[in-house]
């Protein structure tokens, strides 16, 4: 039977992902810190943090895992038409902190958010190191949607998305997918399946197969200039 690991200090390594608990699904370790190197080490091994405000830091590697393979994302005709009609503007890494703040706002019918102040600071540090990135959706000068995550080689690890207008978060994901496809990425980690992800074409992959893909692509290198702040135009 797998047992939960407790990380006492920065030198404690993560246990192997396959040692994660079956219930709750994927809980692997408790404790440690959110130092950039700890976070990068986690994602490099297919592990991510997820915890509520009053919880200790919890680390996860669920089975199965929700993923997208670039080139297989489902963009419906109606979504394409909607995006074209709205005339939104799309950018990369123009307003990272604002995107994270949008994602951290309490969702309707939820008592709180897992994107705590500590988490926001940690991912801001990763952004300043050039490892965490955002996609922004603009209506004129108003930020109406976006998403953020971080890159590990040729893998993009999605963290969260938000919208203030219908379909804006889906549009952000369409832009992300287009951008990753153009720059040689091989895998999008979406963590845990939900109806929203499924509608975009996410598939469930068993943990062993997911970790194999992580090992295959985590040391790859994307095309130069991939994450320079820029405006993005996509054909719809």
Domain boundary assignment for the chain: 5-62, 66-232
Mean pLDDT value across residues 167-180: 96
pLDDT of 107 reads 53
pLDDT of 108 reads 44
Asked whether the predicted pLDDT for residue 112 surpasses 80, the reply is no
The CATH number that domain 66-232 falls under is 3.40.630.70
Asked whether the predicted pLDDT for residue 178 surpasses 90, the reply is yes
Task: Please give the Cα distance from 154 to 56 (Å, whole number).
Answer: 30
Residue count of the chain: 236
Model confidence band, residue 188 (pLDDT cutoffs 50, 70, 90): very high
Asked whether the predicted pLDDT for residue 110 surpasses 60, the reply is no
Lowest-confidence pick of 8-12, 184-188, 200-204, 217-221: 8-12
CB 21 within 8 A of CB 58: no
Asked whether the predicted pLDDT for residue 216 surpasses 70, the reply is yes
Domain 5-62: which CATH number of 3.40.50.620, 3.30.70.3550, 3.50.30.60, 3.40.50.970 = 3.30.70.3550
């Amino acid at each position: 039977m797998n047992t939960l690991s407790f990380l006492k200090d920065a030198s404690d390594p993560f246990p192997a992902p396959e040692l994660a608990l079956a219930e709750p699904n994927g809980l692997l370790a408790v404790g440690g810190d959110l130092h950039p190197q700890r976070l990068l080490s986690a994602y490099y091994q297919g592990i991510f943090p997820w915890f509520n405000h009053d919880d200790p830091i919890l680390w996860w590697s669920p089975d199965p895992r929700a993923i997208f393979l670039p080139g297989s994302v489902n963009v419906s005709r109606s979504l394409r038409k909607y995006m074209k009609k709205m005339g939104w503007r799309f950018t990369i890494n123009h307003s990272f902190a604002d995107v994270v703040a949008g994602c951290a706002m309490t969702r309707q019918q939820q008592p709180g958010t897992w994107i705590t102040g500590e988490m926001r600071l940690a991912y801001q540090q990763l952004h300043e190191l050039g490892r965490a990135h955002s996609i922004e959706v603009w209506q004129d000068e108003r930020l109406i949607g976006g998403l953020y995550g971080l890159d590990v080689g040729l893998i993009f690890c999605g963290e969260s998305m938000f919208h203030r207008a219908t379909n804006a978060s889906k549009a952000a994901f369409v832009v992300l997918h287009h951008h990753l496809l153009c720059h040689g990425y091989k895998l999008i980690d979406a963590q845990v399946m939900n109806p929203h992800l499924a509608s975009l074409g996410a598939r469930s992959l068993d943990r062993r197969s997911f970790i194999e893909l992580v090992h295959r692509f985590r040391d790859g290198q994307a095309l130069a200039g991939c994450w320079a702040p820029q405006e993005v135009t996509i054909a719809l």
